[in-house]
A and B are shown apart, each in its own frame.
Chain A
């Protein structure tokens, strides 16, 4: 069996875990990161993309608001290329209690969240599709953040400093000798190969799955209460500003413009299983109705895709099992030496995407203490690879590139303007045969046609590189089709149903992928 030895083993490749690996690498530690699936495939990759200004928590959770605005300012600097500075509005719609607006303004002042009240007429000029009945509007520094880009930039930065990043490696056992955790055994998905990783400190950054990992270490009582929420992506940017309802946080009260689409979120239902991804039809209807309150033509727009994410809410004494929104959004760092008398093991969970860097910093500060040399944190100032010029992402970047290269640059995904060279480079760099990995890296197949045109092209190119077999290519192609369908079928209506029919027509009619040998073989029960 292969074995590795390291200072820090991080379990969990979400924003927090990858942030820990990046922080550890910057402090000069040797680090190994493992995740059972791809990086940011769990909670991190399943949110609406909002980089909080803190406004949302200004009244209800002032500490969370302060953390958000603090981190917001740092990330705009160090992760600039992953962030689009779209700004945010908090709007009082006819459905909201008008008294909240003054509380909101005061809350923002008290928590240092930049907030400026503007004339609703000005807001409507900027966002003409907004509900014309809005009575008050506050401008805040919300943004959007491309989490896959962020996570992979951190992973690359860590790798450049010697870190080993192992996606698709699930922990099968945590090694514990007496009261000391000294690493874990992981198994490669697909390969089945096992690796023993010996670590001076093991960080459990498994988010909503942190309780399961703690159980494996024989540590009891780490209860993470999964709160499941659905999000729906609409086919274009109905708004170019993050729009929040100016009210106590509730369901369906945020629309985030994200790259070529906009995303409405979210619901909050308790679930027992963090891998529960089902989409209740009633929540879809609720989300569309909520969308209408902010943008009255919402139901006429095309809904592209729906997905669910599971918040890792760490339970505190005040929370009941069913009202997950009231459980603290603050993160929880558990030093198991203090808590349980088990050395070499730290759990970080709870929190929110916007504060992932802070969570990583707190974690590594504790880990550094364990390692005995208390090295300083550098993530506040060190830019991620790609963000060295500190310029935030502009939506038109890909289009500008394309316009300059009309003749030479073959586009594979028109919706997201992914050129062929970029696809080939990403396949090589990731050394992956999984088109879904490439989707997360490049947003391939994430636009209005949901892969109708690009999936065949990408499969053909994937096959052409490095002698991939037809079987593997076919699996990758069909897997991505199924992955796309998973998020499509619960919200198929209107023009998106037409689109889905066209896609079906191409894949099942023109290409007949259903009757490829590999797929046929897979369908036959043993």
Chain B
């Protein structure tokens, strides 16, 4: 076929799950291509690696809670993946971050034994297992959390230090807010624009000097997550040094600067291992032969491109990305490969309920998979990430854990089952 490209594996989707699968396939020696219509949820998310935060009680130790969850919900992705896969994928991730050349010194800290409790931009405390070092200073999961000063700027509409500090105060943490002027060229500037300023050492020095004048005796400084785009570790460490105390980042509204760093880390891991990333064209059709997907096609300017492979990893997400759709006649579709879904409410049962904070009946819908996370009716398709059924990532605080573990599992499964590369996988 004209324009057909052949790979050992094609990954659809460039979120945390897809990039993890792609990078690990490439590291295992597979010729891999990741195709995606755009970046995934990284750019929206706090970029912490949440493994399990709520069950629904707040989880102190994900390792223990994972076992309980698996026993309670045998259809949950974690039950299918197993704790060791989760743990191994976290180890891989930490190594991938630290060996990446793109952001020297930037690293993640933490493990499965203990959740951090990080302040959110509204001042709630959110549990997360593995977090950027630049956020770890905000950890409140200690007996006597040190006092904090939350720093905001009226120039940044996406972070409100006063509300954050006031809610931390209600949680028993000594917290105060200060506002510091940041000159902007446009009133609607977001954290991405701000982060570029923090890359500039001279600007940073001036900022730190102005901030120092406003600080009291607080032991820690919380700031919106925007401390540097190119060299976040350098910017963060420099600020800590200049201010003489711990500084930590607080994730806020999208676009997410730490999420963009996370994307960069995973993309760089994929490329270093020789994988290819094609971002932009959307998969619009597929060719199937019996129970196997043979190729997928993307539409792009001028021509369609066909990607053929013995294995596919579907990491295209769920309802949020549009990969799974509920149409106006209330029918659901897996839009990429036309695969069957699981977890749908029975006919006549409500799809959603009126209580905003309750779990929604549609929340656990995903692509139907077997115990190895292979799609039902498509034996050479592994499903990874938010397209998996059985989880409620944003309520459980499990999204990145599932993404890393299922992406890793998909890579391992494909490598183990494609003869030519079995050696590389071992």
Interface residues of A (CB under 8 A from B): 285, 288, 299-300, 303, 405-412, 420, 453, 456-457, 459-461, 463-464, 469-471, 473-474, 477, 481-482, 485-486, 489-490, 492-495, 497-498, 501-502, 504-506, 508-519, 523
Contact = CB atoms under 8 A, between A and B. Distances in A.
A485 B352 CA distance: 10
Contacts of A485: 354, 356
B347 interface: no
B364 to A, nearest CB: 13
Nearest to B254: A506
A412 B158 CA distance: 9
B233 to A, nearest CB: 22
A510 B163 contact: no
A303 B326 CA distance: 13
Given A457-B157, A501-B319, A502-B320, A486 B354 contact: yes
Contacts of B340: none
B328 A516 contact: no
B188 interface: yes
A179 to B, nearest CB: 46
B124 interface: yes
- The interface centre, meaning the residue of A406, A481, A493 with most chain B CB atoms within 10 A of its CB, is A493
Given A498-B321, A515-B58, A517-B171, A492 B123 contact: no
Chain A contact surface mostly = helix
B326 A515 contact: no
Contacts of A486: 354, 356
Given A299-B329, A470-B123, A517-B171, 9 more contacts: A406-B186, A457-B253, A463-B162, A477-B122, A493-B328, A498-B322, A502-B44, A506-B254, A509-B399
A506 B253 contact: yes
Contact of A420 (B58, B157, B353): B157
Interface in B142-182: 155, 157-160, 162-163, 166-167, 169-171
Contacts of B44: 502, 505-506, 510
Contacts of A411: 157, 187-188
Given A481-B356, A512-B126, A456 B160 contact: yes
A288 B353 CA distance: 20
Contacts of B160: 456-457, 459-461, 463-464
Contacts of A288: 328
Contacts of A470: 123, 163, 166-167, 169-170
A290 to B, nearest CB: 13
B352 to A, nearest CB: 4
B206 to A, nearest CB: 21
B62 interface: no
Contacts of B271: none
Contacts of A512: 120, 122, 124-126
Q: Size range of the interface on B?
A: 35 or more
B326 A505 contact: no
B255 to A, nearest CB: 11
26 contacts: A288-B328, A411-B157, A456-B158, A464-B162, A470-B167, A489-B352, A492-B326, A492-B352, A495-B322, A497-B319, A497-B325, A497-B326, A498-B321, A501-B318, A501-B320, A509-B394, A509-B397, A510-B44, A510-B121, A510-B253, A511-B121, A511-B122, A511-B124, A512-B124, A518-B170, A523-B357
Interface string B331-361: 0000000000000000000011110110010
Interface of B: 41, 44-46, 54, 58, 120-126, 155, 157-160, 162-163, 166-167, 169-171, 185-188, 251-254, 256, 318-322, 325-330, 351-354, 356-357, 360, 393-395, 397, 399
Nearest to A408: B187
Contact of B166 (A457, A469, A505, A523): A469
A516 B327 contact: no
Nearest to B259: A510
Nearest to B156: A410
Contacts of B171: 517
Contact of A489 (B330, B353, B357, B395): B353
B111 to A, nearest CB: 21
Nearest to A498: B322
Contacts of B122: 456, 459, 474, 477, 511-513, 516
A493 B120 CA distance: 29
A505 B185 contact: no
A486 B356 CA distance: 8
B167 A516 contact: yes
9 closest Cβ contacts across the A-B interface? A460-B160, A470-B166, A501-B320, A509-B394, A485-B356, A489-B352, A299-B328, A410-B187, A512-B124
A463 B179 CA distance: 14
Contact of A494 (B124, B125, B162, B326): B326
B287 to A, nearest CB: 27
Given A406-B186, A407-B187, A501-B319, A460 B253 contact: no
B322 A514 contact: no
A490 B166 contact: no
A453 B352 CA distance: 22
A461 B46 CA distance: 22
B350 to A, nearest CB: 9
